[in-house]
């Protein structure tokens, strides 16, 4: 909105300045007048870029109203001379129409593309939700019937229903988190605490898989301006992926380091690794090779990290493991 207001001011001031030069320059200096007349293309073009056809035509109408009296006042009495001066003015009108039309057409095309992309994303989200919710719903329905008919062990059936409901909640939460805008509550906090909390959140899963979850932290505080809740969630997603990719007795390492302006968090595993062709798809929404996954964990983590003006990079070799490197500014307002 402010940009368009400044565009209007720029157009009006520029047209006024050019017109003033036209009127204040003596008539015999025809070369300067020709140059000033050509300068009128600039505000017409700016009007087209800012407001499309309407902006271009209004800019041209203002030029026409201000320039026509000058043409009449300086008419030498020769029809040929007058035609030479009016023809460029008419060509500017044609330019205004063409430029405005093309800008409007381009905007309509982009709007339609954005609408189509939005509908395609909605379709993909709906497809993922329907596909991923189908199996938990089948399990809930099946075991609910068993309970109703008195078949099988009730406790086991209830546990399956609870697990399925939990999976459904996880799917819905992931989709909602990815689709809505990220709102950060930035506060000064020690990054070591965030890493510790994320590690604790994943500790039980690592113990169940009989894996080692190691943390290497600096001895001094690493204070940063971050949203602790969202960053912890991003780290939990990444650590969970590293655990899922690793086997029994393997180690997942979490390393935090920092200098005066930036912090680096590395999450490394010695699991199966990722093929190079698949690394490019890691952050593509709904892409997953993990059974029961939504394909949104990594995109959400990337969204959170980039929301903090940070960067995330993945390096991996099949059979050797994967390292996720997070680069964060200590002040998230800095790029």
Residue-wise pLDDT tens digits, 119-168: 776 666 666 666 567 667 777 888 788 777 777 677 777 887 887 787 77
Between 93 and 265, residue with greater pLDDT: 265
Mean pLDDT calculated for residue range 178-185 = 73
Phi, psi for residue 284 in degrees, rounded to 5: -80, 125
pLDDT at 206 over 60: yes
Give the pLDDT confidence score for residue 291 in this predicted structure: 57
pTM assigned to the model: 0.52
> Which domains are seen in the chain, by residue range?
2-112 (no CATH), 187-329 (3.30.565.10)
Q: Which of 48-57, 132-141, 254-263 shows the lowest per-residue confidence on average (mean pLDDT)?
A: 132-141
pLDDT in tens, 75-100: 766 656 566 667 777 888 888 889 88
Residue 183 token pair: 């709102």
pLDDT at 232 over 60: yes
CB 37 within 8 A of CB 88: yes
CB-hemisphere CA count at 13 Å for 118?
Answer: 7
Give the pLDDT confidence score for residue 335 in this predicted structure: 47
DSSP for 113-170?
Answer: HHHHHHHHHHHHHHHHHHHHHHHHHHHHHHHHHHHHHT-S-HHHHHHHHHHHHHHHHH
């Amino acid at each position: 909105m402010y940009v368009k207001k400044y565009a209007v001011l720029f157009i009006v001031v520029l047209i006024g300045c050019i017109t003033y030069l036209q009127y204040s320059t003596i008539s015999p200096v025809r070369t300067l007048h020709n140059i000033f007349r050509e300068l009128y293309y600039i505000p017409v073009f700016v009007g087209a870029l800012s407001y499309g056809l309407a902006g271009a035509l209004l800019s041209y109408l203002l030029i026409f109203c201000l320039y026509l009296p000058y043409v009449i006042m300086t008419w030498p009495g020769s029809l040929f001379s007058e035609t030479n001066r009016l023809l460029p003015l008419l060509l500017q009108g044609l330019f205004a129409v063409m430029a405005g039309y093309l800008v409007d057409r381009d905007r309509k095309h982009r709007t339609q593309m954005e609408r189509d992309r939005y509908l395609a994303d909605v379709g993909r989200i709906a497809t993922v939700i329907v596909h991923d919710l189908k199996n938990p719903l089948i399990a809930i329905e099946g075991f609910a019937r068993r309970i109703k008919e008195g078949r099988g062990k009730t406790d086991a059936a209830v546990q399956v229903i609870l697990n399925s409901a939990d999976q459904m909640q996880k799917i819905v939460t992931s989709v909602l988190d990815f689709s809505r805008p990220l709102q950060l509550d930035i506060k000064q906090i020690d990054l070591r605490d965030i890493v510790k909390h994320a590690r604790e959140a994943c500790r039980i899963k690592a113990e169940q898989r009989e894996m080692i979850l190691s943390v290497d932290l600096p001895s001094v505080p690493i204070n940063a301006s971050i949203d602790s809740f969202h960053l912890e969630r991003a780290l939990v997603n990444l650590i969970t992926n590293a655990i899922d990719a690793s086997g029994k007795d393997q180690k997942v390492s979490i390393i935090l380091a920092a200098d005066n302006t930036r912090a680096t968090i590395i999450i490394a595993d010695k699991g199966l690794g990722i093929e190079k062709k698949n690394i490019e798809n890691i952050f593509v929404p709904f892409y997953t090779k993990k059974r029961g996954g939504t394909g949104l964990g990594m995109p959400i983590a990337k969204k959170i990290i980039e929301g903090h003006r940070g960067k995330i990079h993945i390096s991996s070799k099949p059979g050797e493991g994967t390292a996720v490197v997070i680069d964060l500014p200590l002040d998230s307002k800095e790029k």
